[in-house]
Structure 1
């Protein structure tokens, strides 16, 4: 269904290092054409753009992933994106994306929102995690070994979601964005951005959500899942 959010697992599980298993890539792609997440053992960042899935690695490079891959995702958000509003905008920060979405979707302040930005960006700073070095290593620990890259005057696409604050512990409250260059060869999780000039903006509210939790997963079953809002904020930037 268009503009219905499908989410696999919860961010608190990722914080607790639940990342050895997950949802098969083919199953994830059956739920939408626009999304983000990570891979088994948190090895790299995921972006789903126009129904194609890419793995963004810690060296800043990007690899397309075949739908028949036997890889899995321990955490992901995806939707069948159909923009209900389109505009252009110049943005000087990542935080301005949130403000823009709330301005152009005024009747959906407490809904999830999906966003896509296309154009030339004056600067985009991204980070990508190399992954766990041991089982059940937390996302906070994995984040200590992440690498960052800044792309200057880069043409590409940003995919992401704005999640309500009440979803703390389930998702990443606030704006969560991933970037991929036009040639699909570089990208990562966005820490900062500046467009310089105007870029194309497409967005839609997501009033329905389907949350699927891991089944028969010992890591998930025994994880404390208490929540670490400060840790999520530190890692997700």
Structure 2
């Protein structure tokens, strides 16, 4: 029997495993190996089994950012599970240097760079020094099916000042709220790989390099054989998502 050929990911196509509403309902005990996620790209974000920490993927390297402030590179991705992850083979079509005063300023910049992408997905990477970054990391579920709002109630928040590093994330259109996070969903990791988390707010220190690409292809895979997912209500909770995702 021939070994199936690996299919190379399409540049800037977005692959997503599961949906954000599943995390809201506490569907986080199972998932796919991170190695399976990496088959679809080299830049992304997500979380880990039982929502223990934040995930960032840069140049095919995966990092777990934990609530105690530690950051662990995932060296055996076939052995680590993600219940929710989003990834792309990132090949930016626009690059610019800019000063950014916050998320609203970033939204204006993205609109100017890709004015025809209002209803498309965007992938973005920001490299440079940040005057301030407000970030959080989730400590994980205390019991199976504990919802994300409850988990976020115990999250740790950090303010990093003068931090050099990288933000990576996605901007998703409004119509996918509940499937993903509408608007910007971004994670940060410092250049020394010692600080990071889910970005709640930020301001750059001078100019940073902003790289962006538009995605017109979005591929989603839903969990199968997962009792938690099968029994979840999956009712859209826009207010709850906004409260935990910032």
- TM-score using structure 2 length: 0.95
Instruction: Indicate whether 1:165 and 2:153 are aligned.
Output: no
Q: Matches of 1:98 and 1:176 in 2, distance apart?
A: 12
Count matched residues: 237
The answer to whether residue 16 in structure 2 is matched with residue 7 in structure 1 is yes
Contact 1:3 1:79 in 2 (8 A): yes
Structure number, greater radius of gyration: 2
Alignment of 1:54-73 (within 5 A): 54-73=63-82
Taking the aligned partners of 1:93 and 1:43, their CA distance within structure 2 comes to 27
- 1:149-178 deviations in whole A, cap 9, x for unaligned? 111000000000000000011000000110
Give 1:181's aligned residue: 190
Q: What value does the CA root-mean-square deviation take over the aligned residues?
A: 0.8
Structure 2 residue 97 is matched with structure 1 residue 53: no
8 Å CA contact 1:29, 1:67 repeated in 2: no
Match of 2:163 in 1: 154
Match of 2:89 in 1: 80
Question: CA–CA distance in 2 between the matches of 1:93 and 1:68?
Answer: 33
Distance 1:129 1:68, change over 3 A: closer
**How far apart are 1:69 and its partner, in Å?**
4.2
Alignment of 1:118-133 (within 5 A): 118-133=127-142
Q: Does 1:27 align with 2:36?
A: yes
Runs of 4 or more above 2 Å deviation: none
- Tell me, in whole angstroms, the C-alpha distance in 2 between the residues paired with 1:153 and 1:98: 22
User: Do the aligned residues in 2 keep the contact of 1:97 with 1:175 (CA within 8 Å)?
Assistant: no
Helix, strand or coil for the counterpart of 1:2?
Answer: coil
| TM-score, with structure 1 as normaliser | 0.98
1:108 Cα deviation from its structure 2 partner: 1.2
Unaligned runs of 5+ in 2: 1-9
- Report the equivalent of 1:101: 110
Is 1:38 paired with 2:47? yes
CA offsets 1:5-32 (integer angstroms, 9 cap, x no match): 0000000100000000011110011111
1:198 pairs, out of 194, 200, 207, with: 207
Structure 1 residue 97: Cα displacement: 1.7
Contact conserved, 2:36 with 2:78, CA < 8 A, in 1? no
For each residue in 1:79-103, what CA deviation from the matched residue of structure 2 results, as whole angstroms up to 9, or x when unmatched? 0000000001111112322221111
Question: 2 CA distance for matches of 1:97 and 1:137?
Answer: 33
Report the more deviating stretch, 141-150 or 94-103: 94-103
C-alpha separation between the residues in 2 aligned to 1:233 and 1:145?
A: 16
Instruction: Give the distance between the partners of 2:14 and 2:63, measured in 1 at CA.
Output: 19
